Amino acid sequence: VPATLRHSEMVTNFVPADEFLQYLQAMQHMDDGGIEPSIDATLWSMDGSYPFTWTPGSQKVIILMTDEIAQTITGQNVAQVNLYAIENGYQIFVFALPEHHASFLQMVRGEQDRLYTPMANSETVFQQIKQIFEDLCIGE
């Protein structure tokens, strides 16, 4: 399944976890894209700007991974993303450096437990993502 690049973010089709980890590893070899419009990319994932659709009745979960603070190239802000997510039934989680968590807090409903810090290897990150889905599917 091909990945699509837009600005400096990666968009994949829905793929198995091991294939997604391969995409993450490939991203490490890309040149820096400058501003990472994480605010915009999150909104675009919800509003139909990307070439994939959510199945009606599906649980809509977005996991944003970045090494930058929350940024935009369109003038959107994290409060707007949060409002859109709530109004349209999306769950948002963010993997970011601890010093950047504050810039994303409002995007994740002000809930600290939706903010993660990526660990040293892909297996640890995979386990963190797995825990998010287990909590959503089993915990709710």
The share of the chain scoring above pLDDT 90, in percent, equals: 46
63-94 confidence digits (pLDDT tens) = 998 889 999 999 999 999 999 999 999 999 99
Q: pLDDT-derived band of residue 104, with 50, 70 and 90 as boundaries?
A: very high
Q: Output the CA torsion 126→129→130→134 (10° steps).
A: 170
Beta-sheet pairing, 3-6 with 9-12 = antiparallel
**29-38, 48-57, 89-98, 101-110: which has the minimum mean pLDDT?**
29-38
Coil, helix or strand at residue 111: coil
In angstroms, the CA 6 to CA 37 distance is 10
In angstroms, the CA 3 to CA 82 distance is 26
In angstroms, the CA 85 to CA 102 distance is 18
HSE-CB for 50 with a 13 A CA cutoff: 21
pLDDT reported for residue 5: 38
